[in-house]
Structure 1
């Protein structure tokens, strides 16, 4: 696992690339690859790389060149089928000088051009420079496991990097906030692809490539892969179970190649336990597993992890952390570079820190909920959809809309009694309803939060456009498949994978995700929805297939997840910090928010009248972003 960076002057072939600037850009991501660093500069082009050595440690340094020296690559990720590809490419006449997966991509590019990505199985973000074509080819893996940011500057330079901080090291990058990203951030809790928080700065979307040449400097990303849901396959239950385990085991097996210590995250949930069960059947030595325990029982699930560890005789490593572990608050803003509101980033950071003490590569269970329909919100949405399908939209808007307005807000109550949200969802279209259910702040709350100035700047933009754009590309009439697709395009990549990438790379730890193997996803996307969400049981087919491997105690309990007690923090140890941040000079001077609404949010929460913890956390993270990313990067740009 590594970090990549580069500068390509699309206008001037003989332009001088600053070695000092390229080095500075590369060093901002030192944490991604502390083992080695490399630069290559020629007229009009600079490539940079930080390396975390996993495969072919003795060679494989980057930038890496083809035998004739005309093609160069910087690469972040792992190609799991590189050995079979290497054999195929050797048969085509290409000569290899290393045993790395990186060199395989070089000759795949020479053999197949932009279609090379269709031959790759793995997680990746890379840039290929072809001197003969005077072209730069950027590519990102199918699910967006590995990040890639880019921007074209006013001086004609295209710059790219594995993290946004790489681009922020360039003094000519615009620091102007992209206004629609504010609407999206306070809706989703992150800025969805392909936008970033800054104008003119983009994330290359998952499953896309970008080919830039001096003849075609204004090219746009091209999609090479997408999830194709066709939930019409009919198989006998016994066949499905057997195929699922076979497919999952193979996805795990190809991710166990490493020349460094390898292990697995083990939370005790279905997905991580499934990965450990498969690993245990594929190696003779005990699997290295790690998990964190919390010092409060209501948040702690370590007993379930221990149960799985005992069953499979793993070398289990566990550490107890305090629930009130909020010292990472200021770390998170610089870790993610953009405003990012998932508070589980804190325990994720800690479990990565723990894992690095024992291993360099870990397998995780991320993606299982999206692939096999495991989220509770899927159940709620499909239950509501049964009601929506019985009444026309006009009737629902009038009746349920009125009930949604009249019913009291009851944050403190069990979800079954929080009918206000349900009524509001029933009054909407399915797409609007799903957005409402996943929103951090709903539409009305965002309108109250935003200042008049910001609302004018937004010009009516609504985050529903994100869902509409993706829904238009999802070729299915199946509602469950549609919301799975929406989550794969938004929540999975923007929240889950972003969280794990930054938290793991902060500790120079590589995380591999077998449940996001694209062949496994292509197989599962053809399963009928009825065996993914069966009645009220999510991930039904996965759980049934795993019954010989895991106990019912693991498979059929409700999972708590990596929760942190935000509501308690904001009324206790973080009470003053919250007030100072949200009612302080920096956030008020931004001009984005209504001061009276901010005061009301803080007051109502700290008095115990309402639970605004999710909204307050999002605002706290945004204030930290303004101070630690925007202000500091602008200061760097001014000095330069």
Structure 2
């Protein structure tokens, strides 16, 4: 696991060597073991290395023997040994045993199609001197990040994190109004946008090729997408699975999961796993324990609030497989990380579970350099409770004609009181609002932090004028246009795989793990397992109210029933209590007199209303207030960076 950075000039001029070194240094935390820079005609590449495979060699940037091509690479290729043998048979010679050289030789053999042969997580850049072009690529699911921007005079910048690009003094820093709108809907900024106008994330499953001399950004090209098109074995959405579920499918799933975990175990450094006590992380640990002779190193984070603590279930799995298990307890007032999150994420990021994720990475790093995670199981096997709610709403949509549904349920939504304090099944206002919408908009509405109506109250007139008629639902509609499945469950799974998974879950883990120089691998997101699971009938994933039904059946021989069939808890923090207790004063001060108040982006009277309603207990606005607090932290970071840059400019002028 590493960090990469680069500059490609429009002309064969000399790259500012100190600038590429500074960009590289900004990523030191991602690769503290080694660092290197390549300088060529009109190009500079930087690399920070966290040594995992072929520790003795494999340094980057790596040049081909004929000096034609140079690569910087972040990630792991799990089929590199098979590809190496294929390339040797084609006449290629290798000087290392690392996966980096396999990609480089693969480029020389297959060109851009090399990405189709890679099995793993990756973001890389290859400078091809002979073709005078740079090739950028990102893995299929977006496990590894890659940012890029084109400066007005045709200079391409790229890097693993925004902070590497921000080192460049000419990087545009104007905020993107659409990204702001998306953030307050989703809690993150979806690909390809970033918080900055003219700065982008490379989409998962995409590549970008730029010929030197080109002064405008070409469109990225998609090389992979997951298909939910029904196969011959698929059943209609309404069908009920047999009791028990088709055993051959469950057995296949167990074997495929085992194979995916197996290929993720290669490392020359200590390796372990996160063990939350949930189904997905427990499944990964169970497979690891059966594949290696040494006890698995596992770690878990507990909370001193019972409603948020699931370590007892992690202990069940740890005892069953005799793992080297470590647990750390996070106090309910452990919010010291709030001011650091803006630095880790570079742009607004409102998933509060980033804090316990940071702590579990901190704990893991004390034992290991590589940790396997269970991320991806909820998206692949329908583990989120919102999927069940969505299907219930879909049944009503199908029963009531649209001509009657929209006016009737819109009227009911207006008449029904808002009841944040009540259990979800009593929050009919939110349900009525969702049913009045179409399928995609209803799903989008169900987990939006702020609805479009609420954003209209939150945003200033200036920001609303900049947004014009833009609506964040367009993010989902764009992906919906590419969906090839036939049922409602597959649709929302697809939408999550394209948005929530890379934008929130994988971003969250990448930044806080890299903050500790810890590599996190996600075997459930092995693309071959993803492709296979997408073809499973919807009724095998949600069966008679049981989420992840086929996964749980597949794991029955491997995990305790109490772990498999308990109520899902999630990895949350007690925000509501914090904002009415120990964080109340900090929150009110930050949102009333901080950078948000000075930004002219928001309606401060509406923010005051949110604060008062939450503090009084009238409403639970914890998610909305957290999103605002994280945006405030981002603005404060930007303001501090501007002051630092100004001071540096003055110092340079006086020197």
Q: TM class, shorter-chain normalised?
A: over 0.9
Question: Which sits farther off after the overlay, 339-348 or 559-568?
Answer: 559-568
Specify which of 312, 329, 347 is matched with residue 338 of structure 1.
Answer: 347
What are the residue-to-residue correspondences of 1:204-353 with 2, within 5 Å?
Answer: 204-214=202-212, 216=214, 218-234=217-233, 237-353=246-362
> Where does residue 532 of structure 2 map in the other structure?
523
What are the residue-to-residue correspondences of 1:484-499 with 2, within 5 Å?
Answer: 484-499=493-508
User: Following the alignment from structure 2 to structure 1, what is the Cα–Cα distance between the partners of residues 548 and 640?
Assistant: 44
> Where does residue 49 of structure 1 map in the other structure?
47
1:594 aligns with 2:603: yes
> Where does residue 617 of structure 1 map in the other structure?
626
User: Following the alignment from structure 1 to structure 2, what is the Cα–Cα distance between the partners of residues 493 and 78?
Assistant: 17
> Where does residue 94 of structure 2 map in the other structure?
96
- C-alpha deviations, 1:162-189, integer Å up to 9, x for none? 0010001110001100010111000000
Task: Tell me: CA distance 1:277–1:585, structure 2 relative to 1, closer, same or farther (3 Å).
Answer: closer
- C-alpha deviations, 1:465-495, integer Å up to 9, x for none? 0010000011122111111000001100000
Q: Could you tell me which runs of 5 or more consecutive residues in structure 2 were left unpaired when the two chains were aligned.
A: 235-244, 650-655
* Residues 333, 629 of structure 1: 8 Å contact kept: no
* Residues 470, 486 of structure 1: 8 Å contact kept: yes
Specify which of 165, 174, 179 is matched with residue 172 of structure 2.
Answer: 174
Specify which of 370, 388, 403 is matched with residue 361 of structure 1.
Answer: 370
1:156 aligns with 2:154: yes
3-state secondary structure, aligned to 2:136 = strand
Task: Tell me: CA distance 1:216–1:113, structure 2 relative to 1, closer, same or farther (3 Å).
Answer: farther
Structure 1 stretches of at least 4 aligned residues deviating more than 6 Å after TM superposition: none
User: Following the alignment from structure 1 to structure 2, what is the Cα–Cα distance between the partners of residues 277 and 355?
Assistant: 18
> Where does residue 438 of structure 1 map in the other structure?
447
User: Following the alignment from structure 1 to structure 2, what is the Cα–Cα distance between the partners of residues 335 and 629?
Assistant: 13
- C-alpha deviations, 1:329-374, integer Å up to 9, x for none? 0000110001000000000000000000000000000000001111
- C-alpha deviations, 1:44-78, integer Å up to 9, x for none? 00000000000000000000111111111000000
Specify which of 63, 74, 82 is matched with residue 65 of structure 1.
Answer: 63
User: Following the alignment from structure 2 to structure 1, what is the Cα–Cα distance between the partners of residues 640 and 607?
Assistant: 22
| 1:605 CA displacement | 0.8
User: Following the alignment from structure 1 to structure 2, what is the Cα–Cα distance between the partners of residues 19 and 547?
Assistant: 57
User: Following the alignment from structure 1 to structure 2, what is the Cα–Cα distance between the partners of residues 230 and 251?
Assistant: 23
| 1:636 CA displacement | 2.2
1:410 aligns with 2:392: no
| 1:296 CA displacement | 2.1
| 1:214 CA displacement | 2.2
User: Following the alignment from structure 2 to structure 1, what is the Cα–Cα distance between the partners of residues 176 and 523?
Assistant: 35
3-state secondary structure, aligned to 2:142 = coil
* Residues 29, 515 of structure 2: 8 Å contact kept: yes
* Residues 380, 530 of structure 2: 8 Å contact kept: yes
Specify which of 371, 377, 380 is matched with residue 371 of structure 1.
Answer: 380
* Residues 80, 254 of structure 1: 8 Å contact kept: yes
User: Following the alignment from structure 1 to structure 2, what is the Cα–Cα distance between the partners of residues 282 and 561?
Assistant: 27
* Residues 152, 159 of structure 1: 8 Å contact kept: yes
User: Following the alignment from structure 2 to structure 1, what is the Cα–Cα distance between the partners of residues 45 and 195?
Assistant: 25
* Residues 11, 213 of structure 2: 8 Å contact kept: no
- Taking structure 2 as the reference length, the TM-score comes to 0.96
> Where does residue 242 of structure 2 map in the other structure?
none
> Where does residue 237 of structure 2 map in the other structure?
none
> Where does residue 4 of structure 2 map in the other structure?
4
Q: Could you tell me which runs of 5 or more consecutive residues in structure 1 were left unpaired when the two chains were aligned.
A: none
| 1:630 CA displacement | 5.0
User: Following the alignment from structure 1 to structure 2, what is the Cα–Cα distance between the partners of residues 638 and 207?
Assistant: 41
3-state secondary structure, aligned to 2:125 = strand
> Where does residue 627 of structure 1 map in the other structure?
636
1:393 aligns with 2:402: yes
Q: CA RMSD in A?
A: 1.2
> Where does residue 120 of structure 1 map in the other structure?
118
User: Following the alignment from structure 1 to structure 2, what is the Cα–Cα distance between the partners of residues 638 and 490?
Assistant: 39
> Where does residue 422 of structure 1 map in the other structure?
431
* Residues 364, 514 of structure 1: 8 Å contact kept: yes
Question: Which sits farther off after the overlay, 300-309 or 312-321?
Answer: 312-321
3-state secondary structure, aligned to 2:341 = helix
> Where does residue 562 of structure 1 map in the other structure?
571
* Residues 229, 486 of structure 2: 8 Å contact kept: no
- Taking structure 1 as the reference length, the TM-score comes to 0.98
User: Following the alignment from structure 2 to structure 1, what is the Cα–Cα distance between the partners of residues 577 and 305?
Assistant: 13
- C-alpha deviations, 1:275-309, integer Å up to 9, x for none? 00101110111111111111222211100000000
| 1:629 CA displacement | 3.1
User: Following the alignment from structure 1 to structure 2, what is the Cα–Cα distance between the partners of residues 537 and 406?
Assistant: 33
> Where does residue 202 of structure 1 map in the other structure?
200
* Residues 147, 161 of structure 2: 8 Å contact kept: yes
> Where does residue 108 of structure 1 map in the other structure?
106
* Residues 172, 637 of structure 1: 8 Å contact kept: no
Task: Tell me: CA distance 1:55–1:425, structure 2 relative to 1, closer, same or farther (3 Å).
Answer: same
Question: Which sits farther off after the overlay, 33-42 or 528-537?
Answer: 528-537
User: Following the alignment from structure 1 to structure 2, what is the Cα–Cα distance between the partners of residues 349 and 409?
Assistant: 34
| 1:233 CA displacement | 4.1
